[in-house]
Structure 1
């Protein structure tokens, strides 16, 4: 990992129009997210379901269109990119999706799925080069080249996810956005896929945004962690710091939810009550206030800003825990 920043996200906002009980609403899925990714780094983005993690990932490759903010990839404005520029960016920033079966076309062979981005962008100089690159990429993810002739229904879940990874790395991207890539897999297969991703990171010099709700997985693979709640980043720090000394009350609650065989290692001061507020009626102050044991009147009225709380550490809380 170097200190060179390859991807910078500034005040990103993404919303969706939804209809509920005959009324139209705009749900703010991502609400002012800022983060950065360095060359060769794995940044873990963690939070409970519905917090906006996947929308952040999809916004970065323009699978959904952000409302505002800035996304800079090596000096290129991702949000403004279009046509050939956007296609080129999508070769450099690739996604691995959560559901390996849903992300593969059941009618296409594995080889055609792996080669899809190369076919669309005229990456291959000849038919023989295409065949060779498909075989080489399948081997890189631990599959025999003969898998190119198979179809998704013939593969196990772990094999399908390896195909999803192969499809992502064939164009030799700089950044991988891995969206809950192991959550649909058995525990033993999860370990194999995580090991594969860590090996590919070293071999291909990849940077990675790794999205997960599982802090155990995040701890294993990430260099730094950004904790997300209700569309906002509430804490960022290096992984060891987040795991050993969570600062924000929500981060502490996430850590407390992870089973620990040693009761003395439980996180103190992490009690929370209730459910997250509705996306249809977001509170005016801190979105975590209703569940937070530290809330004050200020929390109910004023949104806390993400501010420095130590070297390379930031948190968004009016009553930071030490």
Structure 2
């Protein structure tokens, strides 16, 4: 099978295509012939040597894919060879074939083709698990998501708006802010020019955000707590702004707030299976109805993986970058 391998830790130039032996599914696993995968920021970190895969997981990069079932392992009864699916992966997506636990396979959302479906699993599972299953976002809540024009952000805006929340988001250009409004954000904040704490307070008459989804980590920690509403929940899913910050516990106590840090990749397979099942139940109907759609900046062949990583690192894109085979 064709795979993308790293020759060393480093920049996009360390990625090279190589032929390796086909992987075969074990008990409770399914092999997919991959039609497409997508680039995530975690892929860049893994390429640089900062985000190794969990123990026992392939070193091949890639956290999601779509494709056709090529083989099923012992005990798998819900899928058969030839079925189309998309999958949440712990690794291995940058390849022509991937093996994953059966619980991490999902049907394609209604009306979605294989290439488009490749842009959905990681963002949908991240947003649904953190914003709804962990933070408990409800209709009428104020929801703040940072980086609204990225893959996670564009998904979060749409799903939260569809659930009846009032969405506030940050982004870094007029074009990206316009996209966020198009997707359902009620309030948009240019993080280069505006203080998001002041803007959130002004837009909510001092209430603040009931739920915040943050990918910046330490850099935004104090300001995020300031922007929280009473009994608000801050969910940190990334550390683009560093891993060590100062937390004012007094401010958090007064607000009876919560700071939650989560990751998806290293969770046990049974937890991922529950998340995938919940996404298929709750998010896929929104996709089928046209209320939620993946925002795809560019579709490129897997052979252009170096250029895809360069585009992701530039920050010039909005939404997802998809790689096809």
TM-score tier, shorter chain, comes to under 0.3
What is the TM-score normalised by the length of structure 2?
0.25
What is the TM-score normalised by the length of structure 1?
0.26
Structure with higher Rg: it is: 1
